[in-house]
Structure 1
Amino acid sequence: MTIKAILTDIEGTTTDINFVHKVLFPYAYKQLPGFLREHASRDDVVAILDQARAELGQPEADLETLIAAFLGWIDADKKVTALKSLQGLIWVTGYQQGDFSGHLYKDAYEKLKQWHQAGLSLNIFSSGSVKAQKLLFGYSDFGDLTPLFSGYFDTTTGQKREAQSYRKIAAAMAVDATEILFLSDVEAELDGAAEAGMQTLLLARDQLPEHSAHRVVSNFDEISL
């Protein structure tokens, strides 16, 4: 079946999951209090703080209360929009200062570059915000890769395990779902994409599953279109 577009997950697929959990998240946690105290009057930060007050139901919450709330949300692994936005701003600084670069598996980089050169539309669907996605690929281990990609999608489009999210993405890409290949390391996400009509491929880098409803590869080198 013809493939005109690639839709790929990031964590565990193009990127080592440890980069997110052992580099990005701890960096944001450590920098967050100082960042907020220094930039609390910046317009974009003011908007995030107001979102956090609404989330807490405390319209008069002061800065230290909000700092404690943000750190608490990180500890509890809460998916709070204000927190994601704030982490994105902190990561901008980290990337720009060269404190880290966006991890990408070499096999993923080579194959994505090859697909782009072949004229395929490359797109991202990740639970991380679009801003965070663009930072990771913009400051990647292999330089600025954002020119490779046509579209970026996050959970503002929908949840990653729901077929409707993939229908929306196919519509936004203006490509028939049957001509899109979705890559992920999570079977439930692939189930949602398959239900929407997409072709699917499971990236099982650490251990191949005994059974899967999807085609399985251990890295991008094994992907043949």
Structure 2
Amino acid sequence: MSLRALTFDVDAVVLDIEGTTSATGFVVDVLYPYSRARFAGLLTERAAEPAVARAVDQVRELSGDPDAGPAAIEKTLNSWLDDDRKATPLKTLQGIVWAEGFARGDLVSHFYDDVVPVLRAWHAAGLRLYVYSSGSVPAQRAWFGHSPDGDLTPLLSGLYDTENAGPKQDPASYDRIAESAGIAGGRLLFLSDRPGELDAARAAGWHTAGIRRPGEPYYDQGVGDHPQAGTFDEITISTAGTTGSTA
């Protein structure tokens, strides 16, 4: 798909993952089954670990079942997976499982072919890159650390999720990211395939661009009145008078 080239004068780009840098199908078809098969062991063998215990308490609270045991917790997690619910404790537990899978070499992340060369060019031009995903920060770190092109984490200046920033369709979450990064909203560009997220970022004063890739869940819906691109190399970034582009 070829859409008109876009140019933005910003200091940083914040990246969504699913549908934007990477295929949603990979997450749904590879990562979801991987975590589903390992939840039971995690909940029964490692329940005392602080991160697991905290996530389990959050599941109990969200499900309204304060006495839920491991089997009930697993059932709730799998139900949320079926519904593609972006629940923070689900993402936390998935992140633990996935990080270990990536570290063992069971998993290698997916990136669209246009993404990594553009990220490297933007980074080399002095642009700061961040990630904001519903996936947990540990999952994000594992994802970028185990790509087919090697470890991409040196390209990133920070990672944000629904726990340290907030819900992705809430403008206040984008305010928190801007404050944490020390960058004014008007100097930030958010790339996502989801119109609700783009609306929230724009409401916080950010620049936005919708990424529309054929086959992705939000492709037919579109991105509303946000600028849109089919690939990262259709986006040109200029910062402090220096242009960083692969166009």
TM-score normalised over the length of structure 1 = 0.88
Tell me which protein shows more helix as a share of its residues: 1
What pairs with 1:131-142 in structure 2 (closer than 5 Å)? 131-142=138-149
Any idea what SS the aligned residue of 1:106 has? coil
1:51 Cα deviation after fit? 4.0
1:169 Cα deviation after fit? 1.4
Residue aligning to 2:153: 146
Amino acid at match of 1:161: Q
1:87 to 82, 89, 94: 94
Residue aligning to 1:115: 122
1:107 Cα deviation after fit? 0.9
Any idea what SS the aligned residue of 1:200 has? strand
1:213 to 203, 206, 225: 225
Residue aligning to 2:134: 127
Mapped contact 1:208–1:218 kept (Cα < 8 A): no
Amino acid at match of 2:228: V
Residue aligning to 1:173: 181
Of structures 1 and 2, the one with the larger relative CO (CA 8 A, separation 6+) is 2
Any idea what SS the aligned residue of 1:143 has? coil
- Equivalenced residues, count: 225
Q: Percent identity?
A: 41
Amino acid at match of 1:191: D
What pairs with 1:1-225 in structure 2 (closer than 5 Å)? 2-156=9-163, 157-206=165-214, 212-225=224-237
Mapped contact 1:121–1:149 kept (Cα < 8 A): yes
1:67 Cα deviation after fit? 3.0
Distance 1:16 1:79, change over 3 A: closer
1:114 Cα deviation after fit? 0.7
Distance 1:110 1:77 in 2: 30
1:21 Cα deviation after fit? 1.0
1:80 Cα deviation after fit? 3.4
Distance 1:31 1:218, change over 3 A: same
Residue aligning to 2:4: none
Distance 1:87 1:214, change over 3 A: same
Distance 1:158 1:81, change over 3 A: closer
Task: Calculate the aligned-residue CA RMSD, in Å.
Answer: 2.4
More divergent stretch after superposition (115-124 vs 77-86): 77-86
Deviations 1:148-190 (A, max 9, x none): 1111111221222222222221121111211111111112221
Amino acid at match of 2:231: N
1:43 Cα deviation after fit? 4.8
Distance 1:24 1:98 in 2: 13
TM-score normalised over the length of structure 2 = 0.81
Any idea what SS the aligned residue of 1:205 has? coil
Distance 1:200 1:5 in 2: 12
1:118 Cα deviation after fit? 0.9
1:53 Cα deviation after fit? 4.0
Mapped contact 2:12–2:187 kept (Cα < 8 A): yes
Deviations 1:170-216 (A, max 9, x none): 12111121111111111222122222221111111115878842221
Amino acid at match of 1:214: H
